[in-house]
Amino acid sequence: MEVTPPRRRMGSPDSAVSNQLLDATERVMREEGYAAATSRRIAEEAGLKQQLVYYYFETMDDLLLAAFKRRTSRALERIDEEAASRQPIQTIWESWNSTVDAKLVFEFFALANHHDGVREEVNRFMAAARRKHAEAIARQVDEHGLDLGPFSPEALSFMLFSTALLLGREEAMGLTIGHTDVRKLFDWGIARIG
């Protein structure tokens, strides 16, 4: 008869310390990259003992996944608010431009290449976000009798996110050539259909 060892005691996932570790994980990933996100570095950033990382998270993979899930949970709440807007196309564009932490998003995307759980969560989040945004865009198109020409709501949702993300990433690296013109182009187009 095989005996399953008792599961070790874990800290509460919603505790102040757990959130302190998740905040520290985001800061380390944003400033130093996902490869720097070790238990030692995160504990140091959080001002805590390294052992606490493993009291609250069984593995570093669990910590990294929890950090991403917390971000996506918050983002989906914001997306629901955007979708309820009277002019979701403009609201989505403005929100992606003001709320996307492009450096951190790109670090999570890079991590997803090596971490199955993060990759699954990235795909789940992106599909849900795109679906919610496309539904809101379709509603605005129907309610206002808009003509998007060859753009489907899904295509427009993709373009709004991708453009805002790339603009944010380039700006984080100090590259801004053409950004003002791209934003003017999107603002002009959204004003015409909104």
Identify the H or E element spanning 81: helix 60-83
* pLDDT the model gives residue 27: 97
Considering all CA atoms of the chain, what is the largest pairwise distance in Å, rounded to the nearest integer?
71
Distance CA 194, CA 189 (A): 9
Residues of the chain with pLDDT under 50: 3, 5-6
In 3-state terms the chain splits into helix, strand, coil percentages (rounded to 5) of: 75, 0, 25
* pLDDT the model gives residue 76: 95
* pTM reported for the whole predicted model: 0.84
The string of pLDDT tens digits covering residues 140-175 is: 999 989 888 888 999 999 999 999 999 999 998 999
Distance CA 183, CA 75 (A): 22
The string of pLDDT tens digits covering residues 65-83 is: 999 999 999 999 999 999 9
